[in-house]
Amino acid sequence: MPPLLKIRNIVIEGQTGENWEPIVKGLDLTLHKGEILGLIGESGAGKSTLGLAAMCYTRPGCRIASGSIVFDGQELFGMPESQLRNLRGARIAYVAQSAAANFNPAHRLIRQYAEGPVQHGLMTTVEAEANAVAIYEQLLLPDPENIGYRFPHQVSGGQLQRAMVAMAMSCRPDIIIFDEPTTALDVTTQIEVLAAIREITARYDTAAIYITHDLAVVAQIADRIMVLRNGDLVEENDARKMLAHPQQSYTRDLLAVRSFAKKALDADSEVILDVADVTASYNGQDNVLEDISLQVRRGRTVALVGESGSGKSTLARVITGLLPPSSGSIVFQGEELPPAMKSRRREELRRLQMIYQMPDTALNPRQKIRMIIGRPLQFYFGLSAQEQEQRTLELLAQIELPEEYIDRYPTELSGGEKQRVCIARALAARPALIICDEVTSALDQLVAEGILRLLLDLQRKLDVSYLFITHDLATVKAIADEIVVMRDGRIVEQGPRNEILTPPHHDYTDLLLSSVPQMDPDWLDNLLAEREAA
Amino acid sequence: MQQWHFHPVVRLLAQRIGLGLLTLWVISLLIFVGIQLLPGDLADAVLGQSATPETVAAFRHELKLDLPPHIRYLHWLSGAVEGDFGRSLANQRPVAELIGWRFGNSLFLAGVTALIAVPLAVVLGLMAALYRNTLFDKLISTSTLSVISFPEFFVAYILIALFSVQLPFFPSIASITPDMGLGQKLYAVFLPCLTLALVVTAHMMRQTRAAIINILASAYIEMANLKGLKRMRIVVLHAFPNALSPVINVIALNLAYLVVGVVIVEVVFVYPGLGQLLVDSVAKRDIPVVQASGLIFATTYVLLNLLADILSILCNPRLRSPR
């Protein structure tokens, strides 16, 4: 039987200024009916571009230069747009990473579901809406009869993602392209969506291309895996075989990611940050934080773990004084900090620095690195231009970037390099404590690992403390001395790392820990069976 | 303590209406102070150079011009709130009577223009976005840009030269009287209407096009493309509803301009509107008329902007149906 989709020697180019540079460099891809193919790679690998090419679609600024895309016996490359339109949505559908951005905010969910089948002439509106309810039910969405009549902003992230899977299913396509559909979700929600995708593709025998940067996720879903890097194929194999016997060193690196862990340190250094009974709210009524008490010791790392909405970042805002608490106290190096940032002294500001999730938005794109790192040197220590330059060069050496970067702009740096500059900017103030807010979650796994190693190394040399906010438990294992688990604005459990990570766990900690995907193709099955039984 | 919970839309609307009233009050103050600062004295202007100081003083007393300014302001404001704008100094007729029918005429001109210009602008904007970078789009963009670049009196004279001098189809003087039928009135205002329509359509059309093109870069538009929808449907049903807020705002701004900014066009076509009256009254130092006209223009402006705000809030599903 011929394959459902056969892409051969495809070259896709992206426009940079006047030139067209290849993004996908002559790849082949074959997909059979009902098969799930995992495309994995880091950002810039060309996996989304290749996935979209299966629909003969390119984003603005890209073009398919050559090659062939044969779907169900028809060549798509060169087919007129009007004919391609008949295939898109109807026979090949797409599920995007961010459901919140990909649903039209002006229309109700069910209307967006029904639009495809009605416009392609497959169903009447009434049929399509009845059908939507059935699919919503199969995807275990709550209240399937009525949920469709909500607007996208009225349902939670995980539900919206499942509603998008439902929408892709609306015409019963032969192929669905899943483009990082769980990357923006919490681990516990990710499991629901993964289970929903597996269930629905199996039920309708739908073939799928599943794009992700997370090998552990793709291991749960794919029959076959292609590893891509810089627009080239690294290796391709049956999923189980690849996990058991990776052939290429790059694949082995991806498999071994975050296998390192910090050595356990004794807890007897002095307390430098003491947060006591802090309660805070944004509107004066509903508390986003309640009775938070935690301590950070010199030269140690406290990891603050929790799902989105648990109040982790709000706590960082309270500690830095951006959001004064309604009650409670913050004692830093023996002195109580004024609640609001604007009443803190410069010296108090200096000792407490912050690094953010998005290095792209945290750095001013119109300032050179010299100025970005030089500014705190001048602000806190009043260094002259020459002293600033000398100190900036020292800092660049500490973050392992070459000296010539001093005259570059942020846009000339990669994501990991930008995050290193953010670290240097925080270090420039010679702080006692750095609050790291999800500093690795916007980065590729291998790059993130480099950043974590750098942070550990700096801690050893400079005896700086970290309050490390993250939703990623693998990161926690790698860097934390102590762990604080938060949920709904309260602390659920806190203690030394090994204590928290060793059973018996608190129920919620257990839910979080067991939800982290493992590099084991049977992990999801076992977990779902276990939870079913419990 | 009892907490009141209103639907967020109700709360927002109450806020906007409160702000609108506050704006009007500030404007009334500005108008009053501004007129105090006008050079020249009314009594001198009316009585002429040869009047004796005694006559001038008596005249000032009669018009209560000798009272301190804040008392006069309060008199005027309390009267205006009740709809009594006083009497014209030039001819002693009640201001409300003078203004009433002229304001009606201004509204008629603006209304007819809006009825033509708004749908035309929105449709052209949609088409230009739909056929972006095609000949059609470029043609529309260039022609609207040229129209914006000319001052409206120039457009008006060109239209007069073309349609009432070269081709004598329409009257160059748009005089209308209350006893004319609708058809006659429409015929009379054709040229001023066309002038105004040309000017405001360009603004609204360009804004509509820009707002839609901005939305076309969104992820949900890519999704609509990948669902295999037709381009027309994507632009009209997926992009346009999300572009409504900026479009409504620019429409309101242009409608306000239509009512308020028609002075020049009214003068060119000798149209008996409020703008014409305002210009005359300033020349005659007829303070009550100037103040009243200013306040009416300001109210129109504030009301239209308020309406735009309210419509923008109502067409945002996040505000209309909160979580």
Residue B321 reports pLDDT greater than 80 = no
Give B301 to chain A, closest Cα distance, Å.
Answer: 29
In this complex, the residue of A55, A60, A103 whose CB is nearest that of residue B220 is A103
Strongest mean pLDDT among A297-301, A505-509, B104-108, B292-296: A297-301
CA distance A171 to A169: 6
Q: Is the dihedral of CA A184, A187, A193, A199 positive or negative?
A: positive
What amino acid occupies position A202? A
Beta strands in B14-147 (DSSP E): none
Q: DSSP per residue over B245-288, as a string?
A: HHHHHHHHHHHHHHHHTTHHHHHHTT--SHHHHHHHHHHHT-HH
Write out pLDDT tens, residues A376-429.
999 999 999 999 999 999 999 999 999 999 999 998 888 889 999 999 999 999
Option in A86, A89, A285 nearest B226 (CB): A89
**Span A358-380, average pLDDT:** 92
Show the tokens assigned to B116.
């033509």
Residue B125 has pLDDT above 80, yes or no: yes
Interval A89-100: pLDDT, tens: 999 999 998 888
* pLDDT recorded at residue B45: 66
Identify which has the larger pLDDT, B152 or A304.
A304
Using pLDDT thresholds of 50, 70 and 90, give the confidence band for residue A501.
Answer: confident
Nearest to B196 by CA among B275, B255, B122: B255
List pLDDT tens digits, range A14-27. Answer: 888 788 989 999 99
Segment B264-293 shows an average pLDDT of 84
Residues in A closer than 8 angstroms to B227, CB to CB, are 88-89, 93, 115-116, 119, 167
Q: What is the pLDDT of residue B39?
A: 66
Does the pLDDT at position A126 exceed 90? yes
Calpha distance A228→B210 (Å, rounded): 39
Residue in chain A closest to B315 (alpha carbons) equals A106
Q: What's the confidence (pLDDT) of residue A16? A: 80
pLDDT at residue B1, as a whole number: 41
Mean pLDDT to the nearest integer, A336-352 = 92
Residue of B133, B214, B220 best to disrupt the A interface, most CBs of A under 10 A: B220
Domain ranges of chain A: 35-48+80-255
A465 against B70, higher pLDDT: A465
Mean pLDDT of the A195-224 span: 91
Would you call A175 an interface residue with chain B, using a CB distance cutoff of 8 Å? no
Rounded mean pLDDT, B287-299: 85
Average pLDDT score over residue span B282-308: 85
CA of A94 vs chain B CAs: smallest distance (Å): 7
Best of B215, B227, B240 to mutate (most A CBs within 10 Å, chain A): B227
**pLDDT tens profile B250-275:** 898 888 888 776 778 888 888 888 88
Q: Is A104 on the interface with B (CB under 8 A)?
A: yes
Distance CA B139, CA A259 (A): 62
Helix, strand, coil content of chain B in percent (nearest 5): 75, 0, 25
CATH number, domain B111-287: 1.10.3720
- Using a pLDDT cut of 90, give the percent of chain A over it: 63
pLDDT of amino acid B213: 92
DSSP state of B227: T
CATH topology of domain A35-48+80-255: Rossmann fold (3.40.50)
Taking Cα atoms as reference points, which of A15, A26, A96, A22 lies closest to residue A55? A96
ipTM of the complex: 0.82
Whether B219 and chain A come into contact, CB under 8 Å, resolves to: yes
By Cβ distance, the residue of A101, A103, A154 closest to B321 is A154
Does any CB of chain A come closer than 8 Å to the CB of residue B128?
no
The full length of chain A comes to: 534
- The side-by-side arrangement of strands in the sheet containing A19-31 is A19-31, A5-16, A62-71, A74-75
Higher pLDDT, A254 or B41: A254
Counted residue by residue, chain B has a size of 323
H/E segment holding residue A12: strand A5-16
Q: Which two tokens stand for residue B241?
A: 């509803």
pLDDT at B276: 82
Interface A-B: count of C-beta contacts within 8 A: 74
DSSP assignment, residue A111?
H
Integer Cα distance of A529 and A511 in angstroms: 14
Residue A295 DSSP SS3: strand
Q: pLDDT averaged over chain A?
A: 90
Q: ∠A473-A475-A478 over CA atoms, to 5°?
A: 115
Give the end-to-end CA distance of chain B in Å, rounded to a whole number. 25
B2: pLDDT strictly greater than 70: no
In this prediction, residue A414 carries a pLDDT of 85
Where b means 16+ CB within 10 Å and e means fewer, B104-130 reads ebbbbbbebbbeebbeebbebbbbbbb
Number of Cβ atoms within 10 Å of the Cβ of B39: 5
The closest CB to that of A102, out of B223, B317, B323, belongs to B223
* Identity of the highest mean pLDDT range in A111-115, A498-502, B19-23, B290-294: A111-115
Distance of alpha carbon B300 from alpha carbon B106, whole angstroms: 12
